[in-house]
Amino acid sequence: MSAYPPARYNPLAAWEAIPANETPEQRKTREVAEETARKRSARIDEDIKAERAALKKRAVKLLVLGQSESGKSTTIKNFQLAYTYQSWTDDRLSWRAVIFLNLVRSVNTVLHIIGCEMNTQLPSPSSSTPSSPLSSAASSSSIGSDGLPPPKKEPLGTRHKLLRMRLSPLTHVQRDLEQQIGAGASEVAPPASVLNQIDVSEDDAVPFLAAERQGRRLTTEFAVRATWMDTLTQLRTRDSLGSELKVSERKLKEVMGILAGCCADIKALWTDRTVRAVLVKRGVRLEDSPGFFLDDLERILSPTYEPTDKDVLRARLRTVGVQEYSFVVEQGQNDVLRAADRKGQEVGRTWRMFDVGGARTMREKWYPYFDDLNAIIFLAPISCFDETLEEDPRVNRIKDSLMLWKGICGSTLLNNVQFVLFLNKCDLLSRKLKHTQAKVVDYFPDFREAQDAKRVAEFFRHEFKHVLKKSPLPTRTFYAHMTSVTDHKSTAQTLRVVRDGVAREALERSYLL
């Protein structure tokens, strides 16, 4: 006889069947118990659903790392532009003063350099390793930024002295703009031991002290704290009755009027071939530096000017201290990004991004932010293969990035953190290889390929991958992207891939996938 019940036997039906000979009292008790069980099950289902929704919306924490001027702030701007567009639009006008400041600082840089040339205060740069985009063409550039050979050397003359005189009010304009942007601002200068090598007392408002010692650019740079935008946002409040705000708004309009009146002279200065030849001689390439707007002069100084998205991405404003940015993801700003949102799965999620600074003095502050981290976006600018650190002219900038990358890959605190590498400034790399005589092999002897931007980028990609594979966790997935973060269209696609990957790993860590 078979030990199993008949084939038609249904144990669930038998369990749910009404017991035979059930009394009315027993039936009432059973129905109450069943209803209580159903309600308890429904509550559990709702709690699970709510917990899953909360986990999906839990903040994702990212650290954006890289040396100074690697593109960290621009990367964060790209994220805002792509996924918090309404907030980005609300803040965009606040960048107008910063763009004006970038423009004025560039003009004052040129004025200072031609003044030094006239007075022979500064020697020509040496042929040693340059330290920045401003000096990267010191001994190798043979083609101007307009694609034409520089003119034969001509002395600076009377017209240049007149231009300096007519544009001298811009020194005060620069100071007014710096005051407008926020209290607590400061000039970030090179170490005193370096400044002692040269007399810098002529004008402490000059942004770039284009003196060279062993190929090093000496700079002072205006810097603000993270709250600078709060001050400028108030200037846009039309219904504000505060006298202080009215004064600030009036000063900004006065600055705009002065700049508009100087437009013709600024254009004459920047397009003067003798001036451009002096810049080439002194190894200064303003067009490759952050915050360059001299080629957009007439558009920016128009009375109706409002910053475009691209203008804000290009604007340069150095911040000091740790910067925290918290975003609530909105719907993507275009059809491609909206389609990529996977029916709104990421909409409403909070992302917290930290920029802890890239200068050597700031790097010790990175480690406290490694706790409870989802991902690190590491930016390595590969256009600076022939440049050295401003803090230490003995150290090549890409080699410094490789050392930083090695330290991060070797940290056991980050074993569960996703790494995303941005090999940044590919556009500047291509321009440098095309317009200068700088050779990658002179700085990286292992590079044996043709001097081509794609091959150079792939070479550096391999170098960073090699460091990862030699780390204590060589099985970690290597995510690397070639980027030009001032190009929002391409960067938006890269950020979408990064965002989806980081979000997926965050969900996997929460056991939701």
Binding residues for GTP are: 288-289, 313-319, 424-427
Tokens in use for 204?
């402490």
Nearest of 486, 386, 381, 467 to residue 419 by alpha carbon:
467
DSSP 8-state code for residue 417: S
Tokens in use for 192?
């005193």
Tokens in use for 276?
């451009």
Amino acid at 105: R
- List the binding residues: 288-289, 313-319, 424-427
Q: How far is CA 304 from CA 93, 148, 181, 262, 274, in A?
A: 12, 33, 20, 17, 33
Tokens in use for 46?
């709702």
- List the binding residues for Mg(2+): 319
Nearest of 46, 29, 160, 69 to residue 359 by alpha carbon:
69
Tokens in use for 288?
């490759």
Alpha-carbon distance of 85 to 100, in angstroms, equals 23
- Quote the crossing angle between the two packed helices 263-271 and 96-119, to the nearest 10°: 50
Alpha-carbon distance of 346 to 329, in angstroms, equals 7
Torsion of the alpha carbons at 409, 414, 417 and 422, rounded to the nearest 10? -30
| C-alpha 123 chain-centroid distance | 34
SS3 call for 310: helix
Cβ 429 vs Cβ 457: under 8 Å: yes
Sign of CA dihedral 43, 49, 50, 55: positive
Amino acid at 300: I
**Ordered alpha helix ranges (H), 93-227:** 96-119, 158-166, 170-181, 192-195
CB neighbours of 441 closer than 8 A, spacing ≥ 6? 447, 448
Cβ 481 vs Cβ 423: under 8 Å: yes
Sign of CA dihedral 38, 41, 47, 50: negative
**Ordered alpha helix ranges (H), 262-374:** 263-271, 273-281, 297-300, 309-314, 335-340
